[in-house]
Structure 1
Amino acid sequence: MSTPRTPDPGMLVVSVLSADWDAFWPEVGAEFKARFGPFEASEEFAFDQTDYYDEELGTPITRRLIAFDALRPLDALADIKLWTNAVERRYAVDGRRRFNLDPGFLTQQSLILATGKNFSHRVYLRDGIWADLTLMWQRKRWVDFPWTFPDYAGEAMKTRLTKLRLSYKNKLSKPQK
């Protein structure tokens, strides 16, 4: 019999996609800080693996990864996704989002993203939110799956996530404030 235990907290990571950062980022960045505390944002980098968001967000789309200083319980993922969905709606113009927010948790073992779309490999959390096992850490590298989105399967993303994973491991070894 297994004995239930609380897992280590995860590092909240949010992928932000947009073609017009100046139109929203200062305000949305401040909302993120007020809600989840200090974070580090990556530089903008190309999002060109698909044209899925082009019509809604415009072009050229770039991405930033934001990683929060405070580690969080993994069971907070559904609440976080519901909050990011509300932020997307609040800043929409004429029914079109200006940005896409994809929150997830990075742990020593994996990257789990939250989504509102069901699929065979996703686990239902609650309130219309599923958890997507996007990447797995194995043998000192990120391993993708047949369902991993191409942008997350690429080396540019995996390199960034490896750096965040090291930061996460360092945070785990220090007492949280």
Structure 2
Amino acid sequence: MSTPKTPDPGMLVISVLSADWGAFWPQVGAELADRFGPFDPSEEFDFDQTDYYDKELGTPITRRLLAFDALRPLDELADIKLWTNSVEQRFARDGRRLFNLDPGFLTQQSLVLATGKNFSHRIYLKDGIWADLTLIWQKKRWVDFPWTFPDYAGEAMKSRLTKLRQSYRNRQSKPRT
């Protein structure tokens, strides 16, 4: 028989996509910090693996990864996604989002993203939100799946996530106050 145990908290990572950062940043950055605490933003980098968001967000789209300092319980993922959806909607203009916020949790074992879209490999959490197992850490590297989004399957993203994973490991080893 397995004995239920609360898992270690995860590192909240939010991917932000936009073609018009001046229209909402740093205000949204401040809201994210107010809600989830301090974060380290990556540099902006190209998001060109798909044109899925071009019509809604415009072009060229760039991405920032935000890695939050405070580790959080994994069961908060659905609530975080619902809140980020509300922020996207609040800043939308003429029915179009200015940015896309994709939250997820990075742990030593995996990267799990939240989504409002069901698919065969996704696990339902609550309130219309599913968990998407995007990458797993195996044999000292990130391993993707046939369903992993192309931008997350690329080496540039995996390299960034490897650095974040090390930061996560360092935070885990520090005593919690």
TM superposition score normalised by structure 1: 0.99
* Match of residue 36 from structure 1: 36
* Match of residue 134 from structure 2: 134
SS of corresponding position for 1:25: coil
* Match of residue 148 from structure 1: 148
* Match of residue 158 from structure 2: 158
What does residue range 24-103 of structure 1 map to in structure 2 within 5 Å?
A: 24-103=24-103
Distance 1:76 1:176 in 2: 19
- Aligned residue type for 1:104: G
Deviation at 1:45, TM superposition (A): 0.2
* Match of residue 13 from structure 1: 13
Deviation at 1:25, TM superposition (A): 1.1
Distance 1:60 1:176 in 2: 41
Verify the 8 A CA contact 1:122 1:132 in the aligned structure 2. Answer: yes
Distance 2:175 2:129 in 1: 31
Q: Structure 1, residues 30-69: CA drift from partner, whole Å, max 9, x if none?
A: 0001000000000000000000000000000000000000
- Aligned residue type for 1:45: F
SS of corresponding position for 2:26: helix
- Aligned residue type for 1:126: K
Unaligned residue ranges in structure 1 (runs of 5+): none
Report whether the alignment pairs 1:123 with 2:127: no
- Aligned residue type for 2:88: E
Unaligned residue ranges in structure 2 (runs of 5+): none
The CA RMSD over aligned residues, in Å, is 0.4
Over the matched positions of the two proteins, sequence identity in percent amounts to 83
- Aligned residue type for 1:62: T
Verify the 8 A CA contact 1:70 1:176 in the aligned structure 2. Answer: no
Distance 2:25 2:128 in 1: 27
- Detail structure 1 runs of 4+ shifted over 4 Å in the superposition: none
Distance 2:20 2:121 in 1: 33
Distance 1:73 1:167 in 2: 17
Q: Structure 1, residues 78-118: CA drift from partner, whole Å, max 9, x if none?
A: 00000000000000000000000000000000000000000
SS of corresponding position for 1:131: strand
SS of corresponding position for 1:166: helix
* Match of residue 3 from structure 1: 3
- Aligned residue type for 2:144: D
TM superposition score normalised by structure 2: 0.99
Distance 1:64 1:95 in 2: 23
Deviation at 1:175, TM superposition (A): 1.8
Distance 1:160 1:31 in 2: 24
